[in-house]
Amino acid sequence: MKGLLRDILSEVAYGAIRLVGGGGGIRVLTYHRVTDAHPEDRLCVPVKRFAEQMQFLHEAGYRGLTMSQVTKWIRGGNGVSGRRVAITFDDGFEDNYLYAFPELKRWGFTACFFVPTEFIQSGQAGRPEADRPMTWEQMRRMLDAGQEIGGHSVTHRKLTKIPASEWDWEIRGCKEILEEGLERPVDYFCYPAGYYNDEIRQLVEKTGYAGAFTVKPGAVKQGMDPFAISRTEVSAFDSLRDFEKKLAGAYDWMHAAVQRVNHT
């Protein structure tokens, strides 16, 4: 019943959006994992479904944006026209490299992979094969192919829930570790689980990142804070129709309600 109500309400919202026209902006998609290993986990999008979504984007005329293109547009830049989408991944699991990366290449898209450095540094030994982190070499291969790597803190803890004295290490330390390991600049940050405040946001900017991403739903608009960029989460249970509706913003109000509950 809950799922049926969700479908009905999203169809109504989608119909209204199509009738009056969308509110514009850029849609930044959020993924976590692409794997068949955990079929009950909403953060683990099945491999075939992810491939179908990338094919849908390509055939619907969407073109991908890099993180720098997104933040440049937010700050008033131009050069963004037609159907555009940006793609992000959180948490740094190896399935991003094994299954998402090939489909991104196949359909001509790039993504930014936000990784917590402690997870990467821990290595693959002793972990279940399906739940291993990416390696430094795998990340460098993706960078060489035009993908991006971003910071996702050191330990992946919710930053507002830890002592303020540890924020600098989580934010600055993450950037320094990644840049040393990748031998490339790391310019973008993603707040773990979307937890941040004004002080954390200011520290991210002061550290030298060019922008930061949240879990707040909605399209990205010009003039918004480039250190509080909204995104649209893609769930493992989304049908292709759900995916189409999410691109239009039909689920934004539902996601906003969930975020208000989760972050209070």
Whether 7 contacts 64, CB under 8 Å: no
Residue/partner pairs of 129-134 with CB below 8 Å, 24 or more apart: 130/35, 130/37, 130/38, 130/95, 131/37, 131/93, 132/93, 132/94, 133/92, 133/93, 133/94, 134/92, 134/93, 134/94, 134/96, 134/97
Which of 25, 53, 64 lies closest to 233 in space, CA to CA?
Answer: 53
Tell me which residues of the chain have a pLDDT lower than 70. 1-10, 12-23, 79, 253-264
Q: Could you give the CA distance from residue 148 to residue 197 in angstroms, rounded to a whole number?
A: 25
pLDDT at 264: 53
Amino acid sitting at position 225: D
pLDDT score, position 228: 98
Say what the pLDDT of residue 193 is.
97
Extract the tokens encoding 21: 């026209």
The pLDDT score that the predictor gives to residue 24 is 72
Ramachandran quadrant class, 15 (left: phi over 0; alpha: psi -120 to 50; beta: rest): alpha
Q: What does the pLDDT read at residue 69?
A: 96
Residue type, 47: V
Q: Alpha-carbon distance 239 to 237, whole Å? A: 6
Q: List CB contacts of 194: < 8 A, sequence separation 6 or more.
A: 214, 215, 216, 259, 263
d(CA 66, CA 240): 24
* Nearest in space to 149 (alpha carbons), one of 164, 133, 163: 133
Residues 6 or more apart whose CB falls under 8 angstroms from that of 262 comprise none
SS3 93: strand
Where do the domains of the chain lie, and which CATH numbers do they carry?
Answer: 2-262 (3.20.20.370)
Q: Would you state the pLDDT for residue 20?
A: 58
